[in-house]
A and B are shown apart, each in its own frame.
Chain A
Amino acid sequence: KNEVEQSPQNLTAQEGEFITINCSYSVGISALHWLQQHPGGGIVSLFMLSSGKKKHGRLIATINIQEKHSSLHITASHPRDSAVYICAVFANDMRFGAGTRLTVKP
């Protein structure tokens, strides 16, 4: 079983929809990252969380340390949000989820 599980693996939404991507992990961590990877591109860091909630524009990330769970929300989704979103946790080293491929249709 992977230490970091993401769901769903693939997600298709219509422009304007509210989107949630979930991440569950099984190890004790010091930080959780949400990363974004556009097609053919490198990876950029969206958020680093160790507790609570962070918001940046239309993106919101939450983490529940007790439940070992984090969510990434996108409000008013747009086609330019189409990308792979990756959850990563840092324990002794960085461990990655398999990613969620999001496609937002106009």
Chain B
Amino acid sequence: DVKVTQSSRYLVKRTGEKVFLECVQDMDHENMFWYRQDPGLGLRLIYFSYDVKMKEKGDIPEGYSVSREKKERFSLILESASTNQTSMYLCASSTDAYGYTFGSGTRLTVV
């Protein structure tokens, strides 16, 4: 069963910590995405990548960075976590406009 796997379902981190959210896909997809989901705002794109070592800013990249050293893995990094980064984070991958596959999400709480 093909899928997108996010390493943690729930995380609690302290303000100022460096946080790594990992996403792995086994579908050989070129495109990978990180979104955050907040009530009333829907999913907002943080960063995306169309190829290994390639990254592009989405709508809300501030306070985040990403890494894509291998095709199957796309990591989201919070350099210094803040309470306004408490959210649900969703990873997705796709080959084209039509087929997006989402991970199960990571609910991050920053205290």
Interface size class on chain B is 20 to 34
B41 to chain A, nearest CB (A): 6
Given the known interface contacts A41-B105, A42-B105, the answer about A48 and B90 at a Cβ–Cβ threshold of 8 Å is no
Fill in one digit per residue for A20-61: 1 if any B CB lies within 8 Å of its CB, else 0. Answer: 000000000011010100001111110010000000000000
Interface centre among B41, B98, B99 (most CB of A within 10 A): B98
A93 to chain B, nearest CB (A): 7
Contact B98 A86, beta carbon cutoff 8 Å: no
Please give, as numbers and ranges, the residues of chain A lying within 8 Å of B105 by CB-CB distance: 40-43
Contact A48 B98, beta carbon cutoff 8 Å: yes
* Among candidates A2, A43, A45, A90, residue contacting B90 with C-beta atoms closer than 8 Å: A43
Number of interface residues of A (CB under 8 A): 23
Given the known interface contacts A93-B45, A97-B42, A99-B42, the answer about A42 and B98 at a Cβ–Cβ threshold of 8 Å is no
* Among candidates A40, A42, A98, residue contacting B42 with C-beta atoms closer than 8 Å: A98
B61 to chain A, nearest CB (A): 14
A2 to chain B, nearest CB (A): 8
Chain B residues within 8 Å of A, Cβ to Cβ: 4, 9, 33, 35, 40-45, 48, 90, 92, 97-105, 107
